[in-house]
Amino acid sequence: MKTRNLLVTGGAGFIGANYVLYWLENNPQDKVVVLDALTYAGNRANLASVEQHPNFIFTHGDICDTNLVEKLLKEHQLDTIVHFAAESHVDRSITGPDAFIETNILGTYSLLKAAKKVWIDEPKAEGKSPLAHRFHHVSTDEVYGTLAPNDPAFTEQTAYAPNSPYSASKAASDHLVRAYHHTYGLEVTTSNCSNNYGPYHFPEKLIPLIITNILHNKPLPIYGDGQQIRDWLYVEDHARGIELVLNKGQVGENYNIGGHNEWANIDIVKVVCKLMNEYFSNEGTSLESCTLNLAPAMLKEKFPEATLAAESRSEALITYVTDRAGHDRRYAIDATKTNNELGYKPAESFETGIKKTVEWYLGNEEWWGELLEENK
Ligand code: NAD
């Protein structure tokens, strides 16, 4: 495989950081420059294990700063942009859409402008061919809108119908990326992925929220009837999918990435409750594969507030709350194109992925404890 020099925007966030760790593990010869504004969702500690890597560079900055992006592209001779940076929490987009419009739409526009200038316009002005390049845009299944229970899953042909300020801002950015390809010949690919879960997930999102609330014996808030269905993918499988799109995808194409793994929110919460009960229980039977050196007695000592988990009754914390405005009922990804054309297949089953995730949160209290403290 050819060597790449990558700009990874939003590389200190949940998926971006997992992607950078995955990339340098599997492509250690490549240069990876992270550009991240370190908003509340960005955390340099997510990248601690690669900070000393000789090919890793961190830049604290905003994707809306087009001059900075141009400078980075030139200074490090970057040939690939993998664009994760975004405001990503739907609830926050309802209470404060401005930041979503700025980062997700204007920020993407800023990156496209810089990429076009450095990779296409400047060489052209010198009578040269465009530099070899790829702009990969990371998007979401939420741009497709909502599905009824028996509707077929979203394909790349499904018409966009975003329902929240978050998904509308992502849809707008997808359209800009497409337009830069068709109008200016920028070599782009876009992937639309389902809900991710795994390590380094900010504890405002469903799965880490449930785990950390159980550890503090706090209510587990469920919107509406809890029957909203999401398609869940382990975060490293998303990184694997993007790698395939970069290496084998066709320029100008969109690729759905998903795990064919639909769950109602309430059922996800019940699975996490059951696992937590088992980890805290002396009679836990499903822990043979447990990678944690945390026996139930040690967990009880480490998390003394988790009294309901210790009694195998975490479900008693489930509390139904008023549904959020415009809450989409169901998302489901049909990833047939990505599977067939690129040979994509998730490595992790939901059973193994969710265990790894719960174990990671049990073993990394310093990481999420600090974030909860900072965001009180
Ligand atoms: P996140 O909120 O955890 O991380 C976003 C990162 O972007 C943070 O590190 C933040 O500091 C950075 N950032 C925000 N504004 C910036 C700016 N103006 N300039 C530079 N950096 C900025 O998000 P995530 O969950 O990791 O999602 C990453 C991408 O994947 C997003 O584009 C999102 O739309 C997409 N996506 C997410 C999911 C999911 O389940 N989380 C699913 C599909 C697609």
Q: Is 93 helix (H, G, I), strand (E, B) or coil?
A: helix
If one residue of 8, 19, 39, 170 were mutated to test the ligand 1 pocket, choosing by the most ligand atoms within 8 A of its CB, it would be 39
Q: List Cα–Cα distances, 199 to 12, 16, 241, in angstroms.
A: 13, 12, 18
Asked if residue 173 has its Cβ within 6 Å of ligand 1, the reply is no
Ligand 1 nearest-atom number relative to CA 43:
9
At 320 the pLDDT is 97
pLDDT digits (tens, 9 = 90+) for 195-211: 999 999 999 899 999 99
75 is catalytic: no
**In this structure, which residue's CA is closest to atom 44 in ligand 1?**
140
pLDDT of amino acid 291: 55
Of the residues 22, 166, 234, 279, which is catalytic? 166
Average pLDDT over the chain, rounded to an integer: 95
Q: For 177-182, which contacts have Cβ atoms below 8 Å and span 24 or more sequence positions?
A: 177/108, 177/112, 177/135, 177/137, 178/252, 180/112, 180/115, 180/116, 180/135, 181/251, 181/252, 182/252
The per-residue pLDDT for 285 is 45
Residue with tokens 């009824």: 148
* Range 172-201 average pLDDT: 98
Q: Which pLDDT score, from 0 to 100, does residue 376 have? A: 78
Active-site residue identified among 62, 79, 141, 348: 141
Average pLDDT over residues 210-216: 97
b/e sequence 334-360, b meaning 16+ C-beta within 10 Å: bbebbbeebebebebebeebbbbbbbb
3-state helix, strand, coil in the chain (%, to 5): 45, 15, 40
Question: What's the gap in Å between 41 CA and the centre of ligand 1?
Answer: 8
Q: For residues 243-272, give the mean pLDDT.
A: 97
Q: Assess whether pLDDT exceeds 70 at residue 322.
A: yes
Pairing of strands 262-264, 229-234: antiparallel
Q: Is 141 a catalytic residue?
A: yes
Q: Residue 78 in contact with residue 3, Cβ under 8 Å?
A: no
Q: Which CATH architecture has domain 5-194+233-258+327-347?
A: 3-Layer(aba) Sandwich (3.40)
pLDDT > 60? residue 284: no
Beta strands in 21-117 (DSSP E): 31-36, 56-60, 80-83
Query: For 76, what's the count of Cα atoms within 13 Å in the CB-facing half-sphere?
Result: 25
3-state secondary structure of 322: coil
SS3 185: coil
**Domain extent listing, the chain:** 5-194+233-258+327-347
What average pLDDT does range 163-180 have in this prediction? 98
Take residue 268 and report the two structure tokens written for it: 């996800």
Share of the chain above pLDDT 70, in %: 96
Q: Verify whether residue 142 is a known catalytic residue.
A: yes
Question: What's the mean pLDDT in 47-59?
Answer: 98
Is the CB of 142 inside a 6 Å radius of any atom of ligand 1?
A: no
pLDDT of residue 289 exceeding 60, the answer is no
Asked whether the predicted pLDDT for residue 103 surpasses 90, the reply is yes
Q: pLDDT tens digits for 4-18?
A: 999 999 999 999 999
Q: Whose CA is nearest to atom 13 of ligand 1?
A: 85
pLDDT tens-digit readout, 222-252: 999 999 999 999 999 999 999 999 999 999 9
The pLDDT of residue 124: 98
SS3 329: coil
Q: Give the per-residue pLDDT at 290.
A: 53
Q: Is the CB of 18 under 6 A from ligand 1?
A: no
Give yes or no for residue 256 CB within 6 A of ligand 1: no
Whether 287 lines ligand 1, by a CB cut-off of 6 Å, is no
Residue 154 pLDDT: 97
The continuous run of DSSP H or E covering 297 comes out as: helix 296-302
Query: pLDDT tier at 333 (50, 70, 90 boundaries)?
Result: very high
Report pLDDT digits (tens) over 296-320: 888 999 999 999 999 999 999 999 9
Can you give the C-alpha Rg of the chain in angstroms? 21
Tell me which of 36, 142, 187, 278 is the catalytic residue.
142
- Residue reference for tokens 């961190």: 58
346 SS3 class: coil
